[in-house]
Amino acid sequence: MLVLSRKTDESIMIAGNIEVVVLGVEGETVKLGIRAPKDVEILRKELYVNIQSSNREAASSMLALNDVIQLLKQNRPDK
C-alpha cells in the first residue's frame, strides 16, 4: 500500500486521468473530491463489497435454478 500525506486542497493523480483532492479534515473525517472520466465507476468500499456479495449470491442462485431445470427435463415423462 502506498501511503501519502496531503494537506487540504492538495491532490494525487491516479493513472493520469483520476485526481483525488483533499477538500478538508474535520475531526477523524477526511473529505475527498474525485475528478475522473464519466466512464470510471466510483463506489464507497462498503457498497462495492455489498454489490459483489449480492452478485455472488445471484450467480449461485442461477446455478441452482439451472440444476432444477435440468432435473425437471430429465424426469419429464415421455409422450
Segments of the chain scoring below 70 in pLDDT: 62-63, 78-79
Please report, rounded to a whole number, the percentage of residues in the chain having pLDDT higher than 70: 95
50 and 76 inside one domain? yes
48 and 77 inside one domain? yes
Place of cell 419429464: 76
31 and 48 inside one domain? no
Domain span including residue 12: 1-36
Determine the pLDDT at residue 52.
94
> Strand, coil or helix: what is 6?
coil
Q: How many domains does the chain have?
A: 2
Place of cell 477538500: 23
Per DSSP, the chain holds a count of helices (H) and strands (E) of: 1, 3
28 and 59 inside one domain? no
**pTM listed for this prediction:** 0.66
